[in-house]
Amino acid sequence: MTLPAPSLAATSDAVAVSAQRAEKTRAARDRLGVADAAIPRHVAVIMDGNGRWARRQGKPRTAGHAAGAAAVRDIVTECAVLGIEVLSLYSFSVENWKRPSAEVGYLMGLYAEYLVAERAIMLENNVRFLQIGRREPLDRAILEELDRTTEMTRHNTGLTLAMALNYGSRREIADAAAAIARDACAGRLRPEDIDESRFAKYLYTANLPDPDLLIRTAGEMRLSNYLLWQISYAELYVSDVCWPQFTVDEFHVALRAYAGRNRQFGGVDDPLDPAEHGRPPRHADAS
């Protein structure tokens, strides 16, 4: 079956929309005051402090989760406007199943509501959605909403929103190792062909760039089993602000801090500096 070619009017509209988005990105980056080269491709966030925020407000923990979901919309939209390629959000870890069943049930319902409510925003902002994490034991209702949102946004070409739902990094690495072992036993892969690049293709984040910046809120100084392989060279930024209060302005502070970092990836600032190679520097009066 031959599909009809897009009309000139549709093509013109698409070009106009693309130009409008590009203009919005340029204006947003000008307001941020950060050079294009200093914008991270992938921002990963550990959204912490929903419960603490709720307690401080004299509210139940569920109120904190609801407020946190509202904060997600603002950060997702800002990432899309800034032209960031990937935003990955640590939404629910494999360890979170240990929480009270009522809280877990509320969270699952909240995720389903979020996906339904935010689809129009994702489409408007050219956002592609995907889940990273295990599908089991998520129930059918949440899986249906995940799949529906993924399908509806799969042709979008802007920000990729990766929701880490039922995610654990050690589990991810173990799953990757098991998949590699299966392929090796089946003769599809030789052990000598396994390197870092090949291994990464078996992770949940295959085809996504590694995070450049990892943000954790609520002042906690730990990684909590999140993207342990992928953040090997990420810059870390910890905010004392709880996630429900993590505004776009707070996000800009993190981006500016990242822009001021000197990322060397194991190298040196000046490879020609003799002091960096164990040789004494030449003094001004040396011949």
**pTM to 2 decimals?**
0.88
Nearest Cα residue to 109 out of 179, 58, 152, 62 = 62
Q: What is the mean pLDDT of residues 138-153?
A: 97
**β-strands 160-167, 86-93: how paired?**
parallel
- Number of other CB atoms surrounding residue 57 within 10 Å: 12
Assess whether pLDDT exceeds 70 at residue 74: yes
Long-range CB contact pairs, 13-20, < 8 A, 24+: none
Assess whether pLDDT exceeds 70 at residue 271: no
Assess whether pLDDT exceeds 70 at residue 10: no
Between 81 and 279, the more confident residue is 81
What is the per-residue pLDDT for 265?
76
What structural domains does the chain harbor?
37-169+210-258 (3.40.1180.10)
Q: Measured between alpha carbons, how far is residue 9 from residues 12, 14, 15 in Å?
A: 5, 9, 10
Tens-digit pLDDT profile for residues 167-215 = 999 999 999 999 999 999 999 999 999 999 999 999 999 999 999 999 9
Are 249 and 31 contacting, i.e. CB atoms less than 8 angstroms apart? Answer: no
**Exposure string over 240-250, b if 16+ CB within 10 A, otherwise e:** eebbbbbebeb
- The rounded mean pLDDT for the chain is 91
Strand-pairing partners, residue 197, are: none
Assess whether pLDDT exceeds 70 at residue 286: no
Assess whether pLDDT exceeds 90 at residue 14: no
Tens-digit pLDDT profile for residues 219-261 = 999 999 999 999 999 999 999 999 999 999 999 999 999 999 9
Which residues are CB-neighbours of 193 under 8 A, at least 6 positions away? Answer: none
What is the per-residue pLDDT for 279?
43
Are 133 and 167 contacting, i.e. CB atoms less than 8 angstroms apart? Answer: yes
Tens-digit pLDDT profile for residues 24-72 = 999 999 999 999 999 999 999 999 999 999 999 999 999 999 999 999 9
Q: Which among 13, 30, 36, 48 is annotated as catalytic?
A: 48
In angstroms, the CA 246 to CA 232 distance is: 25
Q: Which among 30, 96, 175, 210 is annotated as catalytic?
A: 96
Nearest Cα residue to 150 out of 167, 131, 170 = 131
In angstroms, the CA 120 to CA 129 distance is: 12
Between 177 and 276, the more confident residue is 177
The verdict on whether 96 is a catalytic residue reads: yes
